[in-house]
Amino acid sequence: RILETPESLFDIDGLLYDEEREMRDVVRSYVTKHIKPEVATWFEQGHIPAKELSLALGKLGVLGMHLEGYGCAGTTAVAYGLACLELEAGDSGIRSLVSVQGSLAMKAIHAFGSEEQKQEWLPHMASGEKIGCFGLTEPDFGSDPSGMRTHAKRDGSDWVLNGTKMWITNGNVADVAVIWAQTDEGIRGFIVPTDTAGFSANLIHHKLSLRASVTSELVLDGIRLPADAVLPNVSSLRGPLTCLNEARFGIIFGALGAARECLETAIQYGRERIQFDRPIAGYQLTQKKYVDMAVELGKGILLALHLARLKDQGTLNPVQVNIGKLNSAREALSIARECRNILGANGVTLEYPVMRHMVNLESVYTYEGTNEMHTLVVGEALTGIAAYH
């Protein structure tokens, strides 16, 4: 008997409510029709039609879908997670666009913005008319953002912002940047329209990963902002880290979408590829690989669903998000590498999605907190001893 997907082994569908399955199917169908046929070309060219995609994803209803009000759908965490999984089955870059928009830029405004800021930005971002980015990382401060050098000083009622942000997803296509900066009052977030004088974005070239995603350096050169550009309701690293919890949550599901796509491809390939007069899927060594991968994929999805149910009941804590991101990124990357191996030489081309997912997952493993950072957070939770320094 051939199972439709490796997920069927675990009867994942049986754990979902009808509306969650329906929403998942809508996103899956969008990805099948509109992303999968194009994405290898976008990846090869290192270019995505970001504006068109943003509008289409807004229409699909996935931008800030888990946020309440302001044009956002207010779905459950489970629904949001499943959408991320389906989007990343297309490409991690597409899920990144959605994560950065909804879970980082919109979440920052939604959680810490004034009523006026929310009214001004969120409906346009939910519809995809306005694209957001989120500037936390700097050239010299990645895993340890607490040392950031970007700073904002008051000048009368204005703020003046200086600094450089690095590796910023959506940077060159963004209409608005949420920038985190040191101030005399602690780390604060600023809403920076990207047409403000002194703002520039430089595309990062020569990426070998997430090529279907825009990644940029942001230069903030004496940007003058009005008093109401600051997010009023947070003044510490808690601000960006709260947003990271949301985006990491999406990755817990998303990375497994990439893994599922790789595994399905490798199973299909192995059933058709004949060596030594038999399909390679018929060899015990290959079957052990499939089984080990399916077990990790299923366990990962079950963990993701458990965490999503905790989130929906309001009891998910950040350390549990660290555990989920650690597990999903690690296992998805490992699955993608093994699937690449099963495809042999064909595995190194863009004819199949596997190596594209594999190299994308290298970024997923690093961004939103590296494997080591998540390990250290969980290690501290287990032992009570912080081991970062």
The contact set with ligand TGC (CB under 6 A) reads 96, 99-100, 136-137, 143-146, 169, 236-238, 241-242, 244-245, 247, 318, 367-369, 373, 377, 388
Q: Does 43 bind ligand FAD (CB under 6 A)?
A: no
Q: Hey, is 71 helix, strand or coil?
A: coil
Q: Does 150 bind ligand FAD (CB under 6 A)?
A: no
Task: Determine which residue in the list 5, 235, 346, 366 makes contact with ligand FAD, applying CB under 6 A.
Answer: 366
Residue of 65, 58, 220 whose CA lies nearest to 151: 220
Work out the number of other CB atoms within 10 angstroms of the CB of residue 124. Answer: 17
Residues 193-212 that bind ligand FAD (CB under 6 A): 210
| Distance in angstroms (rounded) separating the CA atoms of residues 252 and 258 | 11
Alpha helices in 235-317 (DSSP H): 238-272, 284-312
| Distance in angstroms (rounded) separating the CA atoms of residues 103 and 84 | 11
Return the range that interacts with ligand FAD (CB under 6 A); candidates 46-54, 60-68, 131-139, 155-163: 131-139
Helix axes 238-272, 77-90, angle to 10 degrees: 50
CB 75 within 8 A of CB 103: no
User: What phi, psi does 69 have (nearest 5°)?
Assistant: 75, -175
Q: At its nearest, how many Å lie between ligand FAD and the CB of residue 137? A: 3
Q: At its nearest, how many Å lie between ligand TGC and the CB of residue 368? A: 4
Residues 166-185 that bind ligand FAD (CB under 6 A): 167-169
| Between 88 and 120, CB nearer to ligand TGC | 88
CB 62 within 8 A of CB 94: no
Task: Determine which residue in the list 117, 215, 320, 328 makes contact with ligand FAD, applying CB under 6 A.
Answer: 215
Return the range that interacts with ligand FAD (CB under 6 A); candidates 44-52, 108-116, 122-130, 135-143: 135-143
> Which one of ligand TGC, ligand FAD, none interacts with residue 155, CB within 5 to 8 A by kind?
none
| Distance in angstroms (rounded) separating the CA atoms of residues 364 and 91 | 11
| Between 19 and 140, CB nearer to ligand TGC | 140
Work out the number of other CB atoms within 10 angstroms of the CB of residue 45. Answer: 10
Q: Does 367 bind ligand FAD (CB under 6 A)?
A: yes
Q: Does 42 bind ligand FAD (CB under 6 A)?
A: no
| Between 13 and 144, CB nearer to ligand TGC | 144
Q: At its nearest, how many Å lie between ligand FAD and the CB of residue 227? A: 25
Task: Determine which residue in the list 63, 136, 234, 354 makes contact with ligand FAD, applying CB under 6 A.
Answer: 136
| Distance in angstroms (rounded) separating the CA atoms of residues 209 and 358 | 9
> Which one of ligand FAD, ligand TGC, none interacts with residue 244, CB within 5 to 8 A by kind?
ligand TGC
> Which one of ligand TGC, ligand FAD, none interacts with residue 135, CB within 5 to 8 A by kind?
ligand FAD
Q: At its nearest, how many Å lie between ligand FAD and the CB of residue 99? A: 9
| Distance in angstroms (rounded) separating the CA atoms of residues 263 and 340 | 9
> Which one of ligand FAD, ligand TGC, none interacts with residue 164, CB within 5 to 8 A by kind?
none
> Which one of ligand TGC, ligand FAD, none interacts with residue 168, CB within 5 to 8 A by kind?
ligand FAD
| Between 10 and 42, CB nearer to ligand FAD | 42
With tokens 């929403």, the residue in question is 23
Which residue in 44, 116, 368, 372 is the catalytic one?
Answer: 368
Show contacts of 201-209: CB within 8 Å, 24+ apart.
Answer: 201/168, 201/171, 201/172, 201/174, 202/172, 203/171, 203/172, 204/167, 205/46, 207/46, 208/359, 209/359, 209/360, 209/362, 209/363
Work out the number of other CB atoms within 10 angstroms of the CB of residue 164. Answer: 17
Q: At its nearest, how many Å lie between ligand FAD and the CB of residue 388? A: 5
Give catalytic status of residue 115 as yes or no: no
| Between 76 and 103, CB nearer to ligand TGC | 103
| Distance in angstroms (rounded) separating the CA atoms of residues 144 and 192 | 23
Residues binding ligand FAD: number (CB under 6 A) = 19
Q: What is the DSSP string of 305-335?
A: HHHHHHHHTT---HHHHHHHHHHHHHHHHHH
Catalytic machinery residues: 368
Site residues, ligand FAD (CB under 6 A): 100, 134-137, 142-143, 167-169, 210, 215, 363, 366-367, 370, 372-373, 388
